[in-house]
Amino acid sequence: MVLLALFLGFVATVTATAAVQPFRIDLAKGLPHLEALVKNTNLPSEPLYPGAGEDFGVQLDFLHDLKTQWVEGYDWTEQEAELNQLAQYTTIIGNQTVHFVHEKSDDEDAIPLLLIHGWPGSIQEFLPVIKPLTQSWTSPTGKNVSYNVVVPSLPGFLFSSPPPQNWTNLETARLFNTLMTDVLGYPKYALHGTDWGSDIGYHMYESFNTTVRAAHFVFLPFQPPSPQEIADKNITLSDVQKIALQRTVDWLATDQGYFQEQTFKRFNSLGLTNNIILQPNDIGLALYDNPVGQLAWIGGSTKLWSDPRAGTGPSKLTHTAILTSVSLYYLTGSFQSSVWQYARNGGAFRTEYTKPPTDAPMLYSIYAYNIVMFPEEYVEKVGNLVSYKEHDFGGHFAGLDNPPALIEDIREMGLYFK
Ligand SMILES: *[C@@H]1O[C@H](CO)[C@@H](O)[C@H](O)[C@H]1NC(C)=O
Ligand SMILES: *[C@@H]1O[C@H](CO)[C@@H](O)[C@H](O)[C@H]1NC(C)=O
Ligand SMILES: *[C@@H]1O[C@H](CO)[C@@H](O)[C@H](O)[C@H]1NC(C)=O
Ligand SMILES: *[C@@H]1O[C@H](CO)[C@@H](O)[C@H](O)[C@H]1NC(C)=O
Ligand SMILES: *[C@@H]1O[C@H](CO)[C@@H](O)[C@H](O)[C@H]1NC(C)=O
């Protein structure tokens, strides 16, 4: 018996440390069904009310263009091959399968870096920045910075298994800290978070002060100040901040429908006091086997939240990228579990601006066309702010919207990592 117990103990130890499996995306099996559905989905030929703009939802001509491209000019296999150029793995933590990219630098002193996406996002959002960040960059002061880059799929997204019903971002924060430390063996690391990833990353920044040793955000889980509050505090805004503030006002005023639909309970913290109860399963199941429907829901938001110049200049947020984003959700059957992210985290936007118990540096960047703007005077209340930068190009999806700028921001973080 003792021997058997010892043996079982040995097996348990081995499985706990050897539980990382190489992974490749292979979604070819679902492709014929997807293609048939897209081809056979009818859209109206003319808009019902031609003057009704984006405040009323996704634009028909945009949807027609993307649908046509999906049928005639889009090659999933090519996109899948590009994603598979990233080294990917799965592991099991607790009861959950966690899928992640792990691209290592050739440099021995590369800094471990966790990139955390949101909704509608995935590992794809960081495709243009992952490999460049593994390469060595020499700062003007002669310091070399490179990263070992880890990009997990959030629980319930793509190949990461759906979490229990009441699973919160704080639990995802613990899961990702376990991934970095216990599974991958990095005693300390830096992180970048956007959208829901900024809430998860902020929990990590405040809860794991010995392991998270620098953090960069482009979004924060706080209620953004109103133009009136900013004016009352006599804060002078730059041109980039003015654009971003107008975007914030617009987003809060006209673009909360998706948020409410995907959230299950009264959601007050954005100042939306009269909301009714909504159901993530309605949208989750209505669009579960409806790729053009997912395209309208995800593609419409993606377009609205990115720079109006998306797809030009430094932007990699092309129509092809939008189709790949939607294809990933559709082909992995994870649309429904991804929208539950909202239902499980109602009330994530904090109203109290307080400093968390950490001495790790924090960096923040504004992308002019992001959907929420925080002035420096606010950001410095919630962390050890060492850098506040502004980019006049880019929106909510910095990794696709302006990858050179995000690479620059994250490399700068390396100078503060300790
Ligand atoms: C795993 O799932 C089982 C059965 O649902 C549950 O009893 C157990 O507490 C779960 N473990 C963890 C670590 O969540
Ligand atoms: C930075 O990298 C370059 C090229 O590999 C090397 O020559 C230089 O010594 C490095 N600098 C530092 C400070 O390590
Ligand atoms: C989830 O939380 C809600 C609200 O606290 C509770 O009513 C429900 O029973 C929980 N569901 C599960 C599956 O734990
Ligand atoms: C803003 O400026 C006005 C006019 O100079 C002044 O009365 C007010 O006290 C200032 N408010 C703050 C918060 O500094
Ligand atoms: C890290 O967090 C612990 C627990 O909250 C706290 O006691 C400690 O002071 C923190 N360290 C720093 C440097 O803030």
- Average pLDDT for residues 369-393, to the nearest whole number? 98
The ligand 5 atom at the shortest distance from the C-alpha of residue 209 is 1
Query: Would you state the pLDDT for residue 263?
Result: 67
Rounded distance from Cα 96 to ligand 5 centre (Å): 29
Distances 4 to 1, 19, 292 between C-alpha atoms, Å: 5, 22, 55
* pLDDT tens column, 108-140: 999 999 999 999 999 999 999 999 999 999 999
Letter for the amino acid at 164?
P
pLDDT above 70: residue 80: yes
Give first-to-last CA distance, the chain, whole Å.
48
Selected catalytic residue, list 189, 258, 329, 342: 342
Rounded distance from Cα 152 to ligand 1 centre (Å): 21
- 195 vs 7, more confident: 195
Provide the total of helices (H) and of strands (E) in the chain, helices listed first: 18, 11
Contact 163, 156 (CB under 8 A): yes
92 contacts: CB under 8 Å, gap ≥ 6: 19, 98
* 288 counts as catalytic: no
Q: What is the pTM of this model?
A: 0.92
pLDDT above 70: residue 357: yes
**What is the C-alpha to C-alpha distance for residues 156 and 121, in angstroms, rounded to an integer?**
12
pLDDT above 90: residue 317: yes
Ligand 5 pocket member 207 (CB < 6 A): no
Ligand 1 pocket member 94 (CB < 6 A): yes
The ligand 5 atom at the shortest distance from the C-alpha of residue 360 is 13
Rounded distance from Cα 349 to ligand 5 centre (Å): 23
Contact 148, 191 (CB under 8 A): no
DSSP code at position 265: S
Query: Would you state the pLDDT for residue 9?
Result: 40
Pocket test for ligand 5, best of 209, 211, 213, 355 (most atoms within 8 A of CB): 209
Query: Would you state the pLDDT for residue 10?
Result: 41
Torsion of CA 58, 62, 67, 69, to 10 degrees: -150
Contact 252, 300 (CB under 8 A): no
Q: For 85-94, 183-192, 258-267, 399-408, which range has the lowest pLDDT when averaged over its residues?
A: 258-267
Beta strand residue intervals within 49-146, DSSP E: 88-93, 96-103, 111-116, 137-138, 144-145
Query: Would you state the pLDDT for residue 348?
Result: 86
* β-strand partners of 193: 116, 217
Q: For 5-14, 260-269, 374-383, which range has the lowest pLDDT when averaged over its residues?
A: 5-14
pLDDT above 60: residue 7: no
Phi/psi of residue 289, nearest 5 degrees = -115, 45
**What is the C-alpha to C-alpha distance for residues 113 and 363, in angstroms, rounded to an integer?**
14
* Residue 54 pLDDT class (50, 70, 90 cuts): confident
**What is the C-alpha to C-alpha distance for residues 269 and 262, in angstroms, rounded to an integer?**
15
Q: What residue owns the CA closest to ligand 4's atom 13?
A: 233
Which among 401, 213, 203 is positioned nearest to 315, based on CA atoms? 401
Phi/psi of residue 361, nearest 5 degrees = -70, 150
Rounded distance from Cα 346 to ligand 3 centre (Å): 13
* β-strand partners of 100: 89, 152
Selected catalytic residue, list 396, 401, 409, 416: 396
Ligand 5 pocket member 324 (CB < 6 A): no
Q: What angle do CA 244, 247, 252 make, to 5 degrees?
A: 130
- Average pLDDT for residues 32-58, to the nearest whole number? 95
Phi/psi of residue 37, nearest 5 degrees = -65, -45
Ligand 3 pocket member 344 (CB < 6 A): no
313 contacts: CB under 8 Å, gap ≥ 6: 393
* Residue 259 pLDDT class (50, 70, 90 cuts): confident
Contact 179, 186 (CB under 8 A): no
* Residue 72 pLDDT class (50, 70, 90 cuts): very high
Ligand 1 pocket member 165 (CB < 6 A): no
- Pick the ligand that lies closest to the CA of residue 356: 5
Selected catalytic residue, list 147, 195, 329, 330: 195
Which among 163, 369, 372 is positioned nearest to 259, based on CA atoms? 372
pLDDT above 60: residue 92: yes
The ligand 3 atom at the shortest distance from the C-alpha of residue 165 is 13
Query: Would you state the pLDDT for residue 278?
Result: 56
Q: 1-261+290-338+348-418 falls under which CATH superfamily?
A: Alpha/Beta hydrolase fold, catalytic domain (3.40.50.1820)
Domain ranges of the chain: 1-261+290-338+348-418
pLDDT above 60: residue 272: no
**What is the C-alpha to C-alpha distance for residues 178 and 172, in angstroms, rounded to an integer?**
10
* 195 counts as catalytic: yes
165 contacts: CB under 8 Å, gap ≥ 6: 340, 344
The ligand 5 atom at the shortest distance from the C-alpha of residue 358 is 14
Contact 132, 67 (CB under 8 A): no
Lookup result for tokens 């009352």: 232
